[in-house]
Amino acid sequence: MFSNISINRSGRIAKLFGLLMVAALLAASMPQMAYAQTCTRYHTVVSGDTLSGISVTYNISTAELAAANNLKEPYTLIIGQSLCIPGSTTTSSGSTSTSSSSKAPVVVVERDGKFLVIGVGNFPKKGNYYVKIKKGHWGTDTPWYKIGIFRTKKNTDVTRSFRLPSNFLDPSLITVCLKNAKTDGITCVPHWE
């Protein structure tokens, strides 16, 4: 009779312990869920990548990039690893509408044979931007090449094509930057082939 009681009690203790563990795990993950950011894109790590170099390329802080990917110092990256590039999502209480002027500029780059097709969104009207490209990431020592001028006229969403220099027809990673001719503000994006 006493052995039967101890078996039932140990089974209840095990269930209670399991429930407590689940509750502790949920409680520990609550702050992370409250501040989680959405991934606006993904970056595949290539040879020579560093967390700080990637953060400069995407114009985010190293701390944001590390937090979005649960990376701890010394920030070891593995070739082929896919990193979440977080986007800032802000919501204001009471209002869900946003104006186009409050949206962040967007740059989309595609390759079409010997041409680089660049599309922009939410850029200021009547802007002139120098288009520069380089092999690899922003922080690499490779030289920049100016391939043209990108103009936005009446529209803030524009697409243009630029011929690639012959030495850019093979690389797997190109960093593309648009530099505002008036303000010197720079928007850069990586492009993989």
- Structural domain of 50: 39-86
- Gyration radius of the chain over CA positions: 24
Digit-coded pLDDT (tens) for 44-72: 787 778 888 888 888 888 888 888 888 88
The total domain count for the chain is 2
Mapped onto helix, strand or coil, the DSSP state of residue 22 is helix
Mapped onto helix, strand or coil, the DSSP state of residue 144 is coil
Band of residue 21 on the pLDDT scale cut at 50, 70, 90: low
The two structure tokens encoding residue 145: 């090449």
Q: Which pLDDT value is given to residue 105?
A: 73
Q: Which pLDDT value is given to residue 99?
A: 36
Q: Is residue 1 part of a domain?
A: no
Band of residue 165 on the pLDDT scale cut at 50, 70, 90: very high
Specify whether 124 is located in the same domain as 172.
yes
**C-beta neighbour count of 173 within 10 angstroms:** 19
Band of residue 18 on the pLDDT scale cut at 50, 70, 90: low
Query: Residue 175: which of 148, 129, 142 has the closest Cα?
Result: 142
Name the pTM for this structure: 0.50
Question: What number of CA atoms fall less than 13 Å from residue 135's CA on the CB side?
Answer: 13
The Cα–Cα gap between 36 and 89 comes to 10
Q: Which pLDDT value is given to residue 128?
A: 92
Specify whether 108 is located in the same domain as 156.
yes
Specify whether 73 is located in the same domain as 109.
no
Digit-coded pLDDT (tens) for 119-140: 888 888 888 999 999 888 766 7
